[in-house]
Structure 1
Amino acid sequence: NATRLVEQFIERLIEKNPEELQNEGILPQGIIEEWRSGFDEHVLVGMVPSARHYEAYRKHRFYHIPVKQLKKGWQTARYIALYPKRGAAPQNGVTCFGKIAAVNIVKRSAITELPKRSDEEYVRFEVESWNFLQNVIRPVGYGIAVYAMTTFNMLKQAKELPELFMKSSEEIALWRILRRLSDRIRFDLDARYLDQASKITAYRIKNVSIRLGDGLLMITNGTKHKTIAAELLRKQPSTVFREVVGMMGEGRDQKMNLAKSTLR
């Protein structure tokens, strides 16, 4: 009947991601690209070593880093975000960001806001203004040694530092699926510092652990395991969504069965 058709339509909206809805004609063509263009600009998240540096950066609206420490791709940054290490600010974590107004290569001695006698070359980023994040992105046991690159979209949505690490389209696709289920997603990286890590070793959402590697998605909940092809993240993300939801339900079923057996 009509009520069931409406229910089925709503279920499809919940299960499918924006790309699938656009392909089916539910969302207008081009709307996703237009939305992403404003959020996928790159952000350089720079480590702040001391309270003196943090105060100078905020007061004089700039950030600086040695040229020799920069890696390929830093030029794509449109924003700077500050990550004061423990003790450098009242709160440890990514606190604020600002749009880059200008980029200059200067001698270290020319940075008078933080005096130091040195002819080493530095890149100086001038920032239009600093905007504080609504919530500090917490380190949760991780850190940044020098700097890390992320996107504006990730910066605005992340709650914990490892979320800024995501690089591959598969990692981002999986994260987007999990964010539809919860805003409390935990990540395990293969190194303590984001700029030294090479991969995400596991995603954790509620009672489920998910590992992505070798073209496979391995979903685990207690003693229950399910392995599916990672290409489904691109081809059929709604299938991945259903599998994760199903495994989350498996955990509840296991607990209920255990409780029942205890009461017998």
Structure 2
Amino acid sequence: MAQNSEPTAQEIALSVYTSIRQDDRPETIAIQLVQAIKHFRYNCPRINEYQLYHQQPNMAVLKVSCLAAPVYGISVASNGYISVYGGNGMLAPVKREDGRIYAFKADGSLEPEVTPALRHYLDQGLEKVRMGDDNNTFYMSVAISILGFVALASSFMWIRSWRRMSQAKAYNSTIPSAIKDELLEESTMIREKIFKHPTGIYIAQGRRGKRRLFHSFLPAWLYKKFSIKFREMANLPRPDDLEEEDY
């Protein structure tokens, strides 16, 4: 009788990549991510949440938070490539501004994006409209107000990010090689060809030897590994904008 063999790393990579491209159920993707992490001998009893951090036509990068373990990074590509890294605190927790977060309950089911209380008010409002209740205006006002608040908060975050980027560009339009040399001399190498400056700037050297600046570790690692210029610092921030970030 044939023995069941565990899937190879390439098979796991293609399974995760295909599920993401086909927009499969988050519960299915979560199971595949646990399988990927365990394949590389990392500890992940179950997933608390995951986030599709970055996606290109042939590649996807995810951040995964496991129960009782730091955040992992998982990169998969259409050619069967897979890389699992982190789990030692080098990656920062998932942030809502970086993309949608899929959170899971203890039984493995997906946490709803809308809280039960909000869903209760929305359902009541719709029911009152269908029944022609005199109070339907109140319920609709509550629903519209809540949804408007969510939209306003999202707009505020986008405007804040855009303003910071604009201010940085106004301060300096280029980063001369001499400045990069100076920053590199003051930096500490934390990984091969990846350096961290005391101000929190990450400097990564690509395959062709070109140096790029980033605000966090993961984009720097992607540039060093794949020459992907994701969230590159096109301009040098003003001194009062520099702050420590621990990715």
On whether the aligned pair clears a TM of 0.5, the verdict is: no
User: Higher strand fraction: Structure 1 or Structure 2?
Assistant: 1
**What TM-score, normalized to structure 2?**
0.25
Give the number of the structure with larger relative contact order, counting CA–CA contacts within 8 Å between residues 6 or more apart.
1
**What TM-score, normalized to structure 1?**
0.23
